[in-house]
Structure 1
């Protein structure tokens, strides 16, 4: 009975591969925690305390790290920045700047989960977006963005963001 079940399982796996379904890298808990810790450290080196959220490619929260004394609203802000970067596949600082110049892009601010405020950056591995990081509480959108970018540079598993 076990052998037919194994054969069926193998056939199903072969059909999945033959169907041309993409094989995408996954964001591990370890990688999410490493990039969050790197962002915390990058901000701390500048005398800033932040909260960092990391989401996977499905928008699921994988890791949250919060520095001491960060305002409670920043936890949700960091999650929404990460979600926005994931959903749009763009850094939220770039989205905010584009929205200021383009009335069509400005409409993105009306979507409930999106937050057009710097600090969110997509996480890419092997060219695929595997998740995103969101940083909040660092004293402004440019500071939050810089800490997120520094975190990606500190974790070799992730590609550095493209220059705007």
Structure 2
């Protein structure tokens, strides 16, 4: 415990008050500052319409259900934001995460590494020493089951499917979803 002489208390109280005002001003300023961890927002270029994202997700789900697979499907844009999600009847809880991560990986890394199918990329990086570094990135997953949606020659979104007995089967379902909307995407 610290003791102060009586004549120092008014100065101490003033300095504590000033410190409190400075601290509260600093904290208030933080709430106005942009946060670096916030998601990117696509501000130009083609934006996949919600109606096409939903249609692609539903067709991917339908293709998997026709084969008896209980899956979930996510459509993610290049900013890493989910545009559409469908969870099939009786699909397990982890399929939400895997479908998102597959779509996210294609949508965000596909433009950098020039791939349209996650299965192809996964095979390519399987033997490289960088695979573990890529897999350690948040929301990146190196499992087949995602395909790119291209418009005007660029990846604008991706479809990810999770839950079939093998990523190759997930990817076939994602391809079916892409095929359903492909002719309505701008060239």
Q: Same fold (TM over 0.5)?
A: yes
Q: Structure 1 residue runs of 4+, over 6 Å off?
A: none
1:43 to 44, 64, 78: 64
Question: Are the counterparts in 2 of residues 80 and 114 from structure 1 also a CA contact under 8 Å?
Answer: yes
Partner of 1:13: none
Q: Secondary structure at the match of 2:123?
A: helix
The answer to whether structure 1 residue 29 and structure 2 residue 56 are counterparts is no
Aligned equivalents of 1:112, 1:26: Cα separation in 2: 24
Gaps of 5+ in 2: 1-42
Change (3 A) 1:158 1:101: farther
RMSD (Å), alpha carbons:
1.8
Does the 8 A contact of 2:159 with 2:178 survive in 1? no
In 2: Cα distance, 1:106 partner to 1:95 partner = 14
Give the aligned length.
138
CA distance, structure 2, for counterparts of residue 57 and residue 69 of structure 1 = 29
Residue number in structure 2 paired with 1:82: 103
Residue of structure 2 equivalent to 1:97: 123
Q: CA deviation at 1:111?
A: 1.3
- Structure 1 position 157, deviation (Å): 2.7
Between stretches 71-80 and 43-52, larger displacement belongs to 43-52
Residue pair 1:54, 1:63 contacting (<8 A) in 2 also: yes
With over 3 angstroms needed to count, the CA separation of the structure-2 counterparts of 1:39 and 1:158, relative to structure 1, is farther
1:56 offset after TM fit, Å? 1.7
Question: Residues 72-125 of structure 1, C-alpha deviation per residue, up to 9 Å, x if partnerless?
Answer: 011011111111001111322122212222222442112122001111111101
1:128 aligns with 2:154: yes
Q: Give the aligned partner of residue 184 of structure 2.
A: 157
Deviations 1:118-149 (A, max 9, x none): 11111101212111111000111110011111
Measure the CA separation in 1 of the matches of 2:174 and 2:133. 25
8 Å CA contact 1:24–1:128 kept in 2: the answer is no
Residue 72 (structure 1) aligned with residue 93 (structure 2): yes
- Residues 16-67 of structure 1 show CA distances to partners (whole Å, capped at 9, x for unaligned) of xxxxxx9621111101001001101111221212100011221111110011
8 Å CA contact retained: 1:152, 1:158:
no
